[in-house]
Amino acid sequence: GAFAGKIISIILLAATVVVFVLGCFVSIFLDNNGSNIGGICFNTMSSDLNVTGVSPVAKGDLIISKKIDSTEYAAGDMLAVPSSVSEGCDIHIVNTVNYFSGDSELITTDITNASQNANSVMSSTCYGVVNSYIPVIGGLLSFAIENAILVCILFVLLAAFWCLLLVLLEKSAPKAKTKK
């Protein structure tokens, strides 16, 4: 039992460290005005979608989008666009693309807005085509950024707990008898 407890404690300690490091890494690029890692942008969804028949993306979800060349946009693409209401992004669907030299004007429908009016978005200002989303994570990361000291203390205490559990399991394990 003590051996299994040690293995579980080590796995949970490693998971705690990995979650902390990944959270810190992603939070650097979260809602950072289009800054990206290899063309991938991370943004928090600013409001719920108001259109039926579309994936259930909600406020606080982490939106992962990929920046593409201005000539690669096509009708039907889902775009992550800077929110006009708050920090984060909104999702628009491209209706038509007007190509200009070096930039494209995208005529879009804002699916986060109930009125769904047509909008004009320049390709240089959008965060790219939406690849995927992770529910709730964006909101959690935003909360963690706002309360960074408390979250750091929480992770340190959690890591200390797993280390303490490892020490206690080591002390409680039966010792092997050695011959003199």
The yes-or-no verdict on residue 180 having pLDDT over 70 is no
Q: How far is CA 154 from CA 20, 96, 137, in A?
A: 10, 48, 17
pLDDT at 138: 78
Query: What is the enclosing helix (H) or strand (E) of 154?
Result: helix 148-172
pLDDT at 84: 79
**pLDDT tens sequence across 30-83:** 777 777 778 888 888 888 776 666 567 778 888 889 989 888 888 989 999 988
pLDDT at 156: 94
> pTM higher than 0.75 for the full model?
no
- CA atoms of 136 and 62, how far apart (whole Å): 7
Residues 62, 141: contact at Cβ < 8 Å?
Answer: yes
Coil/strand/helix, residue 46: coil
**pLDDT tens sequence across 94-106:** 999 988 877 888 9
pLDDT at 171: 86
